[in-house]
Amino acid sequence: MNLQQKTLMRYRYYFPHETLREIAFKTNINFTRVFRLYNGLAMRLEEFEIFSKFIQEKESSNPKSLKVKKVFEELVPSLTDQELDEWIEIFHRRLYRQKLISQFSSEATSILA
């Protein structure tokens, strides 16, 4: 996974319910361009900076997440491969559970609407 894909995934993580049209309006990037970026077209530096700015603003709004990130960055070099694999597995399970909950709640909302 390249930096562009990671950035778009992180943006989607923090703003999961935004449509491409809303993303285009918010970032002031043409709708067609946003569509193409999400479909693999190479991102320009200025577009990367725009998405990164929104991600950083969201991350800085939660100081605990920054603390966890810093601690983990310090810890990673001292962990063995097995310990890293265990942490990765824990995070993957947590993300999977979160996606299931998000999907369930969005489906329930659409059924009730």
pLDDT band at 72 (very low <50, low <70, confident <90, very high): confident
Q: Report d(CA 66, CA 62) in Å as an integer.
A: 7
Signed CA dihedral, 31, 37, 39, 42: sign only: positive
| pLDDT at 50 exceeding the cut of 90 | yes
Domain assignment of residue 91, yes or no: no
By residue range, what is the domain housing residue 6?
1-62
Number of domains in the chain: 1
CA-based nearest residue to 54, from 22, 93, 98: 22
**Measured between alpha carbons, how far is 82 from 24 in angstroms, rounded to an integer?**
42
For residue 109, being part of any structural domain is answered with no
Q: Is residue 53 part of a domain?
A: yes
Q: Model-level pTM? A: 0.60
